[in-house]
Amino acid sequence: MATTKRILALDVLRGITIAGMILVNNPGSWSYIYAPLRHAEWNGCTPTDLVFPFFMFCMGVAMYISYSKSNFALTQTNVWHAIYRGGLIILIGWGLSWFGMFLRHICAGDGLVYSLFQYPWAHLRYLGVFPRLGIVSGVVALLLLVFKPKNVPWLIALFLVGYCVLISLTHSFDLTPDNILARVDLAVLGDEHMYHKTAMINGEATRIAFDPEGLLSTIPCFAHCLVGVLVGKILKSEASNWDKMARVLRFGSVILLAGFLLDYAYPINKSMWSASYVLVTCGLASLVLGILIWLIDIRDAERSSKTGFRWYNFFESFGVNPLFIFCLSAILVTVMAVIKFDVAGKTYSLWGAWYNVCMVPLFGQTGGSLACALSLVLVMWCIAYPLYKKKIYIKI
């Protein structure tokens, strides 16, 4: 790749993903969202369903690059780093969840002890985006150190085939209380600590405990991250940028096709993180990464002699501090949602006022909802860009 220590195309892809995560997680109103910015109800895949798996793919790419510096040695330092980083990400996820519950209840006038301990302890969602990232980060790093990169394809096959067998044997293709994923999570975690989805039961819409970041559905996520490891191996090779681009594009095309073929037997499903979903999203991520290699590392190869702001610097600034910026956006919106005041006789939160009073009159309900999300992305860039310019990297 480039002669710099960081791989620019990877940072840009990671930045695009983080900007996308902030965009889809923070509409002005959840009642007014454009279809591409919604998750698929069950089977299928929307653009929104790509942001989380793209980030997990990038995590696998970066993991290969990071541990290749020590030749994947199973040392105390590497093992501790894997466990520490995975555990830290899990704790951050729990901390963000706790902070939101505490702030909402303390601002609603509930007691300090209840807001600080009693309610969060009884309702904390154990799993979610950050806990899943933490678990996958720690486990995959240890697998990589123990089994080495040469055995990664076998590990991917083991996880995906095993997961497909589990789904087949338990007939868990549908969103029902009998789905093995829901049953295990309910037994281990408990109803109060799980996400709930709406399912059609006997023709009626029913809310059931089903966590899209559940325990068993984390199994294919290990394979997902390991696919990123394979791409990281390509990027760290001594080949030319043209050869790297070609290999990444070929790899992405093959697994994308395999994913679409597997969809006939095991439908693409983000909530279950199906095997076909792994292959399709990793294939698409590889293709996007290959295109970025061409745009940045080949077509724009003379960038080192050019000054000024480049188009990819916007996303690169997100990509060098991804989890920190994402955490900060979650904290900011949580605080804005509990600060309330009256406007023309109506009570709004700060975030609600930004949407209803400022954005809706300009862009309408749905357009204003999108404008709110875009404005948050811009605000977070105003924080990310100075850190990027000063080469301040806050590692999480």
pLDDT per residue over 179-196, tens digit each? 999 999 999 999 999 999
- Other Cβ atoms less than 10 A from the Cβ of 389: the count is 10
Any domain includes 396? no
Any domain includes 2? no
Quote the pTM value.
Answer: 0.93
Q: What is the pLDDT of residues 140-153, one digit of tens each?
A: 999 999 999 999 99
DSSP secondary structure of 18-49: HHHHHHHH--S-TTS--GGGS--SSBB--THH
Helix (H, G, I), strand (E, B) or coil at 305: helix
Any domain includes 314? yes
- Other Cβ atoms less than 10 A from the Cβ of 23: the count is 19
Distance from C-alpha of 308 to C-alpha of 302, rounded to nearest angstrom? 13
Computed on alpha carbons and rounded to an integer, the radius of gyration of the chain in Å comes to 22
Distance from C-alpha of 325 to C-alpha of 322, rounded to nearest angstrom? 5
Any domain includes 214? yes
Q: What is the pLDDT of residues 220-249, one digit of tens each?
A: 999 999 999 999 999 998 888 899 999 999
Any domain includes 395? no
Stretch 328-344: mean pLDDT, rounded?
89
Distance from C-alpha of 141 to C-alpha of 164, rounded to nearest angstrom? 23
Distance from C-alpha of 276 to C-alpha of 291, rounded to nearest angstrom? 23
67 pLDDT more than 70: yes
Question: Where in the sequence is the domain holding 339, given as residue range(s)?
Answer: 8-389
What does the pLDDT read at residue 388? 93
Any domain includes 3? no
Count: domains in the chain: 1
Any domain includes 83? yes
Any domain includes 1? no
What does the pLDDT read at residue 5? 53
What does the pLDDT read at residue 198? 85
